[in-house]
Structures are given as C-alpha cells and as structure tokens.
Amino acid sequence: MVAFEKSEYSRVQKQLRFRPSLLPTLAVILLDVGLLCAVRNLLDRGWVGYITSQLIIAVLCFHSFAILHECGHGSATRWRWLNVLLGHCASVLCFIPFYSWKYIHLKHHTWAGHLENDPVLKSLRSFRDRGTPVLARAGWRSWVPVGALLQHVVYLSYPLQMRRAGELTPSRLIRCLASMLWMITCYVILWRLMPGLAAPHNWAPGLGLYLVAEELVNLPHHVGMPTSKVKLPAWDQHRVSRSCYYPAGLSELFVLNFNFHIEHHLFPSLPWYRLRAARELVKPALDDGYNQALGVEWNVRNRRRGLDEIVMAYRQVLDSQRPLRGTIK
C-alpha cells in the first residue's frame, strides 16, 4: 500500500481551503425547514403523501446527523458558539446528543483504526472477546439496522462509559447532561405544539429508514479495514479508512459528502462542501492506496457474508505482530 508521506500530505493540505463559510450549511438548513413543512402537509395526502413524507424524514435526519458532525469538528461556521448552537439544533432531528457525539467522535479521530482505543470499533472488540450476539448476526443478514440503533444507545449512555474509563470531568458531565436535557425539552415542546406530527406513526418509519441510511453510509468507512497497534497520525489514517463514491450532486444533496471518509480523516476540519475537491487531490496522490467502494456495493456484497467472518478478520489482525494487515473488500 502506498504511504502518504508527511511532505506529500502537507503539499495537498496547502491546496485546500479550511476556513468555513456558513452559507452552504445555512442553505441546507433552510432547505430542511422547507422539507419539514412539506412533511406536515404530506401526512394528510393519503398513502402516496405518507410514503413521501417518510422518505423526506429520513433525508432530514441524515442531514441533521451530517450537520451535527460538522459542528462537532467546528467546520460548519468559523464561530465556535454558533457551531455549538447549530449542533444542538441538529441533534434534535438526528436523535444524538451533541456533546456525547463530539467526545466520542474526536476520540475516534485520535485513535482511528486502533482496535483497543477506537470507540467506533468497540462492538467488534466485544464480539471478538465474547462472541457475536445472535441479534447482531440477524440484523446484519436481514439489513435491520440493529447496529445503528445500538450506536444511538451508546451516545445516550456515554457519560457512564466516560466514568468507567476515568475520562468524566465535571465540565464534560455537565455538557453531556445539558445536551440530553435540551433534546428532551425540544421533544416535549414539539409534542405539545404539534401532537399530530409528533405521533409515532407519523415519523417512526422515516426514523427506521434513517437508521438504515446510517448503516449504508457509515459501515463501509472502517468495517473490514486493517487495524493498528499504534496511534496513527492524520496523514496515515487513509490506511484504516474507506471512501464510498457517489455521483456529484447525489453525494452533496443527500449525505453532505459524508461518504468521502478518507478525505475527512486526512483533513478533519475541512468543511463538507470541499471534500470532493480534496478527493481530486488525494486519490491520485495515494494511487492504489486509496480504498474506495462504489455507492452501496460494499454493503450489498458483504451482507452476504456472515458477521463472524468480519469479526474473525479483526481477530487475525490483533493477533498478528504486523501493525496493519488484511482488508474485507
């Protein structure tokens, strides 16, 4: 695999613009406000309107997830306070408390690919040590988004995990609890002001589709990639990451370029609307070291395999003396 030397990494980095502009993200937020209004009207338009509303809800939730992600990195806007505010607003529609997400995700970037310290690989560590649960295997085979649902449970319970790991400072605890209280307050207000829209049958199918989309987009990024026994610098994290290519427009409109994951790990603070430009520089620089899947083909191919096979691949890496080895393609 081609090594992305620090000098080459710096050369690419200098060609990118990191200072964020609020306008692209604001345009998405305004679009989502309009779509949310459309959902309310479509719910009263028969089965066609109802099905359309659920598809829109799934898109709205994923947009909110992507915006939350940008705010967690401070790349939605140049103002820190506005990133925090927008991140909390987005958290309501993606069902993820802002600060819990931020702490988990930044730790993931610090330890990307490290089987023991990377929180994204926590489930695989558990499966390796205790065996793969029946529910997880069934969800993997059936495409029922059990994994995505459990991830949301992890975000909600993260203060407890930080306490066990000795990482829970008073300020972090207050922030995590405040993020959760904010979400609960917003849901209560929504229930009081728009009880029809808040009724479970009016959003639950869309939420299920959102969880499916989370798995389709997120799973290929690291599952089946090599792992490391050492802490990797940013310029070396392409070795434990995978991007998925979607056509121009589709990527920007539906997932806000979240699929360009190698680019994101190399340059975590690069705004989402500049990741495609980063790909044009990174891909030729890495050559055959650029790990890529097309669309959702990784999911289609690997769902036919047993989850135990993928977990075993990680076990082989861990037991090996080589820091990086093996890939589930």
Amino acid at 192: R
Is 178 part of a structural domain of the chain? yes
Q: What is the DSSP letter of 88?
A: H
**How far apart, in whole angstroms, are the C-alpha atoms of residue 61 and residue 211?**
9
Is 21 part of a structural domain of the chain? yes
User: Is the pTM for the entire model greater than 0.85?
Assistant: yes
**How far apart, in whole angstroms, are the C-alpha atoms of residue 101 and residue 97?**
6
pLDDT tens over the chain, length 329 residues: 456 788 899 999 999 999 999 999 999 999 999 999 999 899 888 999 999 999 999 999 999 999 999 999 999 999 999 999 999 999 999 999 999 999 999 999 999 999 888 988 877 777 777 778 888 888 998 999 998 998 898 888 887 777 777 777 888 889 999 999 999 999 999 888 888 778 889 999 999 999 999 999 999 999 888 888 889 999 999 999 999 999 988 999 999 999 999 999 999 999 999 999 999 999 999 988 899 999 999 999 988 888 888 777 766 565 554 445 445 55
Is 328 part of a structural domain of the chain? no
Is 134 part of a structural domain of the chain? yes
Asked if 314 and 227 count as a contact pair (C-beta separation under 8 A), the reply is: yes
Q: What pLDDT score was predicted for residue 319? A: 56
Is 166 part of a structural domain of the chain? yes
Of 40, 76, 70, residue with least CA distance to 57: 40
Q: What is the DSSP letter of 232?
A: P
**How far apart, in whole angstroms, are the C-alpha atoms of residue 235 and residue 64?**
28
The domain containing residue 91 runs over which residues? 6-319
Q: What pLDDT score was predicted for residue 323? A: 47
Which run of H or E residues covers position 7? helix 6-14
Q: What pLDDT score was predicted for residue 261? A: 97
Q: What pLDDT score was predicted for residue 326? A: 45
Is 327 part of a structural domain of the chain? no
**How far apart, in whole angstroms, are the C-alpha atoms of residue 26 and residue 20?**
12
- How many other CB atoms are found less than 10 A from the CB of residue 262? 27
Residue whose structure tokens are 């066609």: 48
Residue whose structure tokens are 């695999």: 1
Q: What pLDDT score was predicted for residue 252? A: 95
Domain count, the chain: 1
Is 243 part of a structural domain of the chain? yes
Angle between helices 146-156 and 98-110 (to 10 degrees): 110
Is 138 part of a structural domain of the chain? yes
Amino acid at 160: L
